[in-house]
Amino acid sequence: MYLIKKIMKKLVIFSFLFLVNITIVAQLNQVLTRNDTIRILNNNQGVTYYRAGEKLDYKRLSEIFSKNKPENTEFMAYDVGNKTGTVLAVIGVGFTAYGCIALLKENNVAPLAIGLGSFVAFIPVTIVSKVHLLNAIKIYNNSIMRPDQKRISLNFGVSSNGLGFQLKF
């Protein structure tokens, strides 16, 4: 009986601390998303960007990021990478199509190799440019947060000394 009471007491305390932790995290997330932050949504049509309920296109993103130098630098890196990736993709498709015809008619593999090579080069260039866009959004979102809205997290968990709280700020 004593063992059951002891276990129940620990279980009630742990449950209470868990609920307090969830409540704090939920309130922090609510405060952090109230601003005009740019949100990224992945849906069936691809990736869309929203700010204050407004869907953002390329031109609008460019206007938003042009006001701050670090964001603009990242956005320009995205723009250059995106255009380079598009050129590589077009060259890759064109040379691959021509290479298939040349391979059948003349037994020439060079255009096909150039096309496939440029199409393969398109993939990392596009990935890196997307990272630059995400960095620009991150810099923008962090710049509009008020100082009293720093990211704070309170976690309850197991440490080397036993159960305890961990406060990150």
Mean pLDDT for the stretch of residues 137-158: 71
Question: Tell me, what's the pLDDT at 129?
Answer: 93
Q: Which domain holds residue 15?
A: 1-26+153-169
The answer as to whether 17 is a domain residue is yes
The answer as to whether 21 is a domain residue is yes
The answer as to whether 163 is a domain residue is yes
Whether 147 has a pLDDT exceeding 60, the answer reads no
How confident is the model over 44-55, as pLDDT tens digits? Answer: 778 888 888 888
Whether 36 has a pLDDT exceeding 90, the answer reads no
Burial of 137 (0-12, 13-18, 19+ CB in 10 A): buried
How confident is the model over 107-117, as pLDDT tens digits? Answer: 889 999 999 99
Q: What total of structural domains would you count in the chain?
A: 1
Return the H-helix or E-strand segment holding 19: helix 2-32
